[in-house]
């Protein structure tokens, strides 16, 4: 990977980092609001749950972006953390924070699906 490519990915990741950091700063949507109507309280709870999940997703993305920026600084950016093969340029353009090549990511996803733990704490082997 050329230095020009690395600089372009660094700029893309930095911009995405700013965007994700701004999104994680919006925590006012998870405030607990009381309402006299039970239906309104249910609606507020559903909105709070959605906001919490969005916050979790943005926080996860932010961690991945920071890790990718660290890999650029260390000189290991673009190398799969699992098999140590080069991550395709096309994949990095689509997901510049990718840490795994397509094959390793698919294997990881399949493994997660096979060992999915339900919210109730049960192992779901249905996948």
Residue 83, token pair as written in the block: 């098999």
What is the number of other CB atoms lying within 10 angstroms of the CB of residue 98?
20
pTM for this entry? 0.74
Does 15 or 127 have the greater pLDDT score?
Answer: 15
> Which pLDDT band, with edges at 50, 70 and 90, does 15 fall under?
very high
H-helix or E-strand containing 16? Answer: helix 3-24
Are the C-beta atoms of 104 and 80 separated by less than 8 Å? yes
pLDDT of 100 > 90? The answer is yes
Cα distances (angstroms) measured from residue 39 to each of 20, 45, 46, 63? 32, 10, 11, 36
H-helix or E-strand containing 124? Answer: strand 123-124
In whole angstroms, give the CA distance from residue 18 to residue 82: 28
Query: What is the per-residue pLDDT for 12?
Result: 96
């Amino acid at each position: 990977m050329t230095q020009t490519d690395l600089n372009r990915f660094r700029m893309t990741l930095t911009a995405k980092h700013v965007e994700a950091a701004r999104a994680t700063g919006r925590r006012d949507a998870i405030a607990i609001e009381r309402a006299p109507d039970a239906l309104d309280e249910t609606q507020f709870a559903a909105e709070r749950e959605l906001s919490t999940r969005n916050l979790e997703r943005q926080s996860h993305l932010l961690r991945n972006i920071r890790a990718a920026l660290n890999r650029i600084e260390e000189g290991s950016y673009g190398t799969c953390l699992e098999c140590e093969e080069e991550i395709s340029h096309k994949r990095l353009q689509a997901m510049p924070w990718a840490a795994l090549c397509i094959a390793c990511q698919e294997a990881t996803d399949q493994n997660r699906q096979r060992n999915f733990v339900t919210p109730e704490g049960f192992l779901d082997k249905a996948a």
